[in-house]
Structure 1
């Protein structure tokens, strides 16, 4: 975990100037999607429940949307980290982490968190790295309906050792949501080919 990211998450436990969305301590294990047929789209899904997760639930979905021949995609959450990787031949896939209340489903509930007020905060914070520069993170915030959303996209820094702390200011998001009425949050990690992504917890401050 990046040092600054670890400090932010620890302080968020007791401070009012930030809020932990998910510290990735709660285990969501062993998502694997593999096949030898191309082209083919496959998805695997798991849910984790805990009062330490915003909305008491994290939905995690792993999808491979294009491939050439044999592929294996893997994802795991636990111990303060979320990891996502691909192996074998070039392929394209993504990992979706969804916080939309307790519904045990990857189908979005855009009002599942109620109307959380993020207006006293100004940015998302996450530490992460990727073994390739083609990896990206897209954050989505919903305000009660699927048509009321905003998003921001960042390139995941490339590296092989320490995680890089990344701030994603609310001002970088597209228009369409109300940060004073947050009903759901989605983080989509996308990659192509032989890539490994690792992140620590997500918070707002």
Structure 2
């Protein structure tokens, strides 16, 4: 796959999520075919997975888990627009792919990461869709990975902010194989809130003993 620069996408994506711009995502058209040859690097999970409305999520809730969108992982009091305003002039002036842009990206990401995760999710059993960035495998079975909202994050492009990255350790027998990592998955488990350093990126959340399965469009 061709490596691409999606720094502006990652920053603007978190900004929109934090400002509640995802309210109409349920009405947006989806990628017609879930295939690694069709999904472009940087594709948002919202373009692939049907995003239920708030009312649909509440009506579909069960005692087993709460279904989340990636917007839910952003702390409710986080104000990324203030960070973006602080660096706006530099962002506009930086040349794509330059050292200046890399340094600027590191500064902005450091401030985003300092926001932490959404403490309200601590200890909650949740279900969330996302893309896989493998960390460790046992033969063809993935035993640890990062769940991220953008296709190719951490591997072919920069990682998203920590509160948009989940470290996942699947239950034995409830994981996926390496050839399934090119498509979105569902992850179900108890959410832990707190930074976890990995070889690929800083994760702001962790789910141990997770149940992982290939994404299947839910019926709402």
Q: TM-score scaled to structure 1, two decimals?
A: 0.31
Larger RCO: Structure 1 or Structure 2 (Cα < 8 Å, ≥ 6 residues apart)?
A: 1
If each structure's strand is expressed as a fraction of its own residues, which one has the higher value?
1
Which structure's residues are more often helix, by fraction? 2
